[in-house]
Amino acid sequence: MKNIIIINGPNLNLLGKRETSIYGDVSFENYLVELKKSYPAFQIDYYQSNIEGEIIDKLQEVGFSYSGIILNAAAYTHTSVGIADAISAIETPVIEVHISNIYSREEIRHKSLISKNVQGVICGFGLKSYDLAIQSFTKDE
Ligand code: DQA
């Protein structure tokens, strides 16, 4: 069985309540229940933190044993050399995900410091972006 972890960064614990016109009105916990049902062949773990160092710790912890990492680093996408370096340091492939289309938003969001170190980027499909990322791991099944 493939084990995948979804790692969500700062403020994504507020999905469903936060800026619903951009991020939707479904909490991630509720979405995750449905996502897991769609992929019974995968073990899908979930971790969320508002703290940069904790995200780095989690990447290091899972990055040599899991089959795939789906990372929405949220605001740290645009600022964190530390998370970018952690992605380079580990072996597990990372897919970068964003709920919104970061390229249609403010200019500060157009730059991702992590994109050059990931296997691929999916953004702009709402919560479905996570589903599409999992699909990218099914191609090796
Ligand atoms: C986000 C986009 C980021 O710019 C923002 O800081 C987030 C969420 C997204 O999923 O669309 O918190 O990563």
Q: What is the pLDDT of residues 65-122, one digit of tens each?
A: 999 999 999 999 999 999 999 999 999 999 999 999 999 999 999 999 999 999 999 9
Strands annotated E in 49-93: 68-72
Written as six digits, the tokens of 30 are 């509720």
Closest atom of ligand 1 to 78 CA is: 4
The residue-averaged pLDDT of 119-135 equals: 97
Q: Please report which confidence band the pLDDT of residue 47 belongs to, taking 50, 70 and 90 as the band edges.
A: very high
Of residues 66, 70, 47, 63, the one with CA closest to residue 132: 70
Which pTM value belongs to this model? 0.96
CB atoms within 10 A of CB 53: 11
The CATH number assigned to the domain holding 32 equals 3.40.50.9100
Backbone phi, psi, residue 79, to 5°: -135, -20
**Which residues form the domain of 116?**
2-140
Pairing of strands 68-72, 94-98: parallel
Ligand 1, atom 8: nearest CA belongs to which residue? 74
The domain tally of the chain equals 1
Closest atom of ligand 1 to 109 CA is: 4
Task: Quote the pLDDT of residue 140.
Answer: 57
Residue 54 reports pLDDT greater than 90: yes
**Does the C-beta of 77 come closer than 6 Å to ligand 1?**
yes
